[in-house]
Amino acid sequence: MAALKHKPVNLIFYVYNLIIIFSTHSSTAELRRLLQPAKPDGTVSFLVIGDWGRRGSYNQSRVAFQMGEIGDKLDIDFVISTGDNFYDNGLNSLHDPLFQDSFINIYTTPSLQKPWYSVLGNHDYRGDVRAQLSPMLRALDNRWVCMRSFIVNAEIVDFLFVDTTPFVDKYFIQPNKHVYDWSGVLPRQTYLNNLLKEVDVALRESVAKWKIVIGHHTIKSAGHHGNTIELEKHLLPILQANEVDLYVNGHDHCLEHISSVDSNIQFMTSGGGSKAWKGGDVNYLEPKEQMKFYYDGQGFMSVHVSEAELRVVFYDVFGHVLHHWKTYKEALYFAS
């Protein structure tokens, strides 16, 4: 532990004003709500990275450096991790050096010393899940905020983080040689039913201008894993009914943007935090789906949100802009 870098605990907590509270609505009592203040001008900026924790290898350190550069230019408020935070098998305990070697020692630039809101991926479920979820990790690095499913209220935008791994049948039916830690998830169907209800209620009750949902697994993807049929069946209808703006995921080790004629939801994949499948197979999309952008390499994405505009930019390992997209909503003005 002596090798751990000392973190400015008071600065982190007071400057970023991360306040953890429980929902006042009994229907969503299981989902924790975090308050993330917007900037004085009302805007929110953040980075999204996924599938990263490899002790700096597979260009993880290079991606981290560029994240720091872009994070500084954008004056980001926080970072979102889309899961598969620690390879290959999550953390094995609270004392696993992988937390220091793959997180603390890698994302060291000043602009990345902000809250990291993180979900679990399937590789994380192969380790000690409770260790990765434990608040004790925040004693080592208080940027780390990881829960199964939770809400972040950032004034003009609500973020809903969804635990997607328990939806996927093959992890239960055909786990192969892998051992998954399902503590806290079983009985599975009860867990999923409750989660879907909580997600639906949270989205319906949201009064934010923008709604962004984050999960590890894809809903729509042309990458190696392709679409996740269980999420298409169970989660997607809830997102469509509640007019979600973005679904952001990892799992496929690429950068990707897909739209669909079924709704205005934009499907964004940011899973290029380290090892990528460059040259891998690309799955065909359905005719109703439109590929806006696909890059089978390492990188990350940034998002800037104002009351009237949401802007997404994808970057490669050199910090080059690969793709940018923006959408608008009518601003609300009140007579004085």
Active-site residue list: 225
On the 0-12 / 13-18 / 19+ scale of CB atoms within 10 A, 21 is exposed
Binding residues: 51, 84, 87, 122, 216, 251, 253
Beta strands across the sheet bearing 321-328 = 144-146, 116-118, 78-81, 44-49, 299-305, 309-316, 321-328
The H or E element spanning position 92 is: none
3-state helix, strand, coil in the chain (%, to 5): 25, 25, 50
Report how far apart, in Å, the C-alpha atoms of 181 and of each of 121, 161, 187, 251 are.
Answer: 12, 20, 13, 18
Residue 293, both tokens? 């952008």
Residue 320, both tokens? 């080059």
Binding residues for Fe cation: 51, 84, 87, 122, 216, 251, 253
